[in-house]
Structure 1
Amino acid sequence: MIAINLDESYRKLRELGLVCSRREFSRNLLDKEVGYLSAAIFRDSLGTRGGLRVMKRLKERLDEVAMRMPQSLRGEIAEVAGRLDESMRVAQILAQGR
């Protein structure tokens, strides 16, 4: 689930022209090795705790990036960040039920 949310975020940010590749997304926005997102999607193996940390880091980076962007892009970036917030809440609830 977390890998899917990260991939959706990547696709939207690529559509907006903020990243060009999964490698760039993994390295620059997730602060992970270049193959991180591709491997996570292939294995669908992000644990809740580790995945939540990655999603939180992405949200923080998006907030930083949004502040440097023209107003026209801020709303779109805020939408991606908002979806991440929702996904993190769901993941936390699911983790508590385990």
Structure 2
Amino acid sequence: MSLSNPIPTYTAEEIQTWLTSHIAELLGVEAAEIDIQAPLDSYGLDSAQGMLIAAKAGKFLGFQLSPLLLWHYPTIELLSQRLAEESQASESEVFEI
């Protein structure tokens, strides 16, 4: 079975750029002010904002994301790498019938 609309895959860099811009927008700062190696909680993100980021990232990536990932991978750099791995894995696992 082939898929007419495959789930897109993203590199860690693409996810990093997306996360940086969305977190900057959420915090009302410039993307350049966001340090990808700084812990996300150092920006004062609360759990509601974390859930919002996870939900938006899930829509962007095409798969559901647990907000707990933000605590397991507490920097944009680590989270981006993990999500890129997940993005690649979801592409290879999906719809092989």
**TM-score normalised by structure 1 residue count:** 0.35
Choose 1 or 2 for highest CA Rg.
2
Query: Which is bigger in relative contact order (C-alpha 8 A, separation at least 6)?
Result: 2
